[in-house]
Amino acid sequence: MVKPAPELQKFGMERTAGLAAELTPSQRAPVSHWVPIRTLKARHRPQILDHLIQLDEHDRYLRFGSHTPLEHLSRYVASIDFKRDEVFGIFNRRLQLVATAHLAALPMGASPAGPGVRAMEFGVSVLPSARGRGLGQILFEHAIMHARNHHAGALVIHALTENRPMIRIALRAGAKLETQGADSEAWLSLPKDNLGTHIEGSVLALHAELVFRTKRLALRVKNFLMSGFGLF
Ligand SMILES: CC(C)(COP(=O)(O)OP(=O)(O)OC[C@H]1O[C@@H](n2cnc3c(N)ncnc32)[C@H](O)[C@@H]1OP(=O)(O)O)[C@@H](O)C(=O)NCCC(=O)NCCS
């Protein structure tokens, strides 16, 4: 699945040492443990909007491929179809949504893999403070499994050609890349789903939900203790 070095080099693979200098040490330290990824529902729209608002204008441009004022963000969040699509989120210890990905079903016929192939589009954002630690990559791998479970034969990524992190994530998974000036489209052929991918999807979602509830309880207990048992 790993792409040969020359193709990745165009997107900075050879500059890993340079990258380390651009990012702080804590950002560069890759997450070494399992990361719980929650499946978000319609009730999470406020958190998703809050996350997107924290991205600066350039990041929003990279995420949506155009300048996205705040009212467009609200419209985008309101329009997410949680029945048809899937939205994933990674929360930190303070229960802040630090990374989110939208896996959207594309209309039939819109797949670069062929007219009869069902395709889903992957869009992602990670807050700057959590970048460079592999969360974008982890969400991408998670989305691959869920797209397979939705019987998609292809995963599509629209990215600006300047977006090296996103293109590197897609190429590493073996995606084909077509570049037209400032815009790039990458797509990945997906193997069929199987019992294993469905069990994995359900178990991971359940586990992530339990971890989130435990974190929430721990935070409530901590806040209660800090407030002097609610007496002061
Ligand atoms: C694209 C994005 C999601 C990547 O998130 P991330 O968690 O930092 O990604 P990862 O840590 O998994 O890193 C992926 C690769 O990009 C590289 N990378 C990270 N930051 C980089 C930077 N500033 N410049 C170049 N490469 C970078 C990483 O080193 C890694 O490659 P490597 O494993 O070969 O070293 C994040 O940068 C982001 O939210 N950008 C704004 C929104 C966006 O562009 N969305 C994508 C379009 S849908």
Report the domain count for the chain. 1
Contacts of 97 (CB under 8 A, 6+ apart): 44, 47, 48, 50, 51, 89, 90, 91
Name the residue at shortest CA distance from atom 35 of ligand 1: 16
Name the residue at shortest CA distance from atom 46 of ligand 1: 63
CATH number at residue 49: 3.40.630.30
The answer, yes or no, to whether any atom of ligand 1 lies below 6 A from the CB of 168, is yes
What's the pLDDT at 8? 44
57 in a structural domain: yes
The answer, yes or no, to whether any atom of ligand 1 lies below 6 A from the CB of 16, is yes
What's the pLDDT at 105? 96
231 Cα: distance to centroid of ligand 1 (angstroms): 46
222 in a structural domain: yes
What's the pLDDT at 207? 94
Tens digit of each residue's pLDDT (9 = 90 or more) over 128-147: 999 999 999 999 999 999 99
Name the residue at shortest CA distance from atom 18 of ligand 1: 165
What's the pLDDT at 109? 77
Q: Report yes or no: 188 and 144 within 8 Å, Cβ to Cβ.
A: yes
Q: Report yes or no: 104 and 124 within 8 Å, Cβ to Cβ.
A: no
For the chain, what is the radius of gyration of the CA atoms?
A: 19
What's the pLDDT at 84? 96
Q: Exposed/middle/buried for 164, CB within 10 Å: 0-12, 13-18, 19+?
A: middle
90 in a structural domain: yes
Residue % of the chain over a pLDDT of 70: 86
* Domain span including residue 172: 30-226
177 in a structural domain: yes
Distance CA 16, CA 103 (A): 29
What's the pLDDT at 111? 80
DSSP letters along 88-137, please?
EEEE-TT--EEEEEEEEEPPTT--TT-TT--EEEEEEEE-GGGTTSSHHH
24 in a structural domain: no
Instruction: Show pLDDT as tens, one digit a residue, over the chain (232 residues).
Output: 334 344 445 544 333 333 433 555 455 577 878 899 999 999 999 999 999 999 999 999 999 999 999 999 999 999 999 999 999 999 998 999 999 999 999 988 778 878 888 999 999 999 999 999 999 999 999 999 999 999 999 999 999 999 999 999 999 999 999 999 999 999 999 999 999 999 999 999 999 999 999 999 998 888 888 887 665 5
CA distance to 10, 150, 155, 177, 206, per residue, from 7 (Å): 6, 30, 20, 10, 38
Ligand 1, residues 32, 155, 167, 168: which to mutate, most atoms within 8 A of Cβ? 168
What's the pLDDT at 19? 41
78 in a structural domain: yes
18 in a structural domain: no
19 in a structural domain: no
**Burial annotation 185-219 (CB, 10 A radius, 16+ → b, else e):** bbbbebeebeeebeeebeebbeebeebeeebeeee
What's the pLDDT at 20? 38
The answer, yes or no, to whether any atom of ligand 1 lies below 6 A from the CB of 81, is no
Q: Report yes or no: 112 and 175 within 8 Å, Cβ to Cβ.
A: no
Q: Report yes or no: 79 and 119 within 8 Å, Cβ to Cβ.
A: no
